[in-house]
Amino acid sequence: MRLLVLDQSRILPWIVEHGLAAEPDIDVEAVACLREAEEILRCRPPGAAVVSVPPAQLDWRKFQHLCALCTPPVPVLYELCAHADPCEIGLCRCEGGCEPIEGFAIFIAKPAPSFALRDALVRLVAEARRLRGAVRQNATTPCVEQ
């Protein structure tokens, strides 16, 4: 499975590669900017994505929407600056007036302890595999006319 890692440095891709070394068939593709990541989502969707959210305000709702539109949907792990939360970057899961986030997303504060990041990565990969299996299952299920 291909994992897209969006980080301005090579640190997070390296951590992901080593953190998932025990997982079979994980291939990490690193990009440094949101534009590159969006292009990959449109042309060659990965199994999952890991994003290091920079302090700058970018359109993460659009990115999450692109992930949710893929078949199967691309689950995302967002690594947020310690002072940020999902609502600050436009990815609310708030009760009441906030619009719920599309698709599957995990949020973790950075710098995260290595065990917490590893656990989040394992959950992300498990969700990506579940989504792929569901798409395969639906593709092989014959249609029944009513």
Q: What is the pLDDT of residues 124-146, one digit of tens each?
A: 999 999 998 877 766 654 444 43
Q: What's the pLDDT score for residue 76? A: 95
Q: Is the pLDDT of residue 99 over 90?
A: no
pTM for the whole structure: 0.84
Domain-wise residue ranges, the chain? 2-140
Reply yes or no: is the peptide bond before residue 86 cis, omega within 30 of 0.
no
β-pairing, 48-52 with 2-6? parallel
In this structure, the number of other CB atoms found within 10 A of the CB of residue 2 comes to 16
β-partners of residue 52 are 79
Please state, in angstroms and rounded to a whole number, the distance separating the CA atoms of residues 76 and 86: 13
Q: What is the pLDDT of residues 47-84, one digit of tens each?
A: 999 999 886 778 888 899 999 999 999 999 999 886 66
Q: What is the mean pLDDT of residues 86-100?
A: 64
Q: Both ends of the chain: CA-CA distance in Å?
A: 37
DSSP for 29-67, written as a single string: EEESSHHHHHHHHHHS--SEEEEE--SS---HHHHHHHH
Please, is 49 exposed, middle or buried when counting C-beta atoms within 10 Å of its C-beta (0-12, 13-18, 19+)? Answer: buried
Q: What's the pLDDT score for residue 97? A: 53
Q: Which CATH architecture group holds 2-140?
A: 3-Layer(aba) Sandwich (3.40)
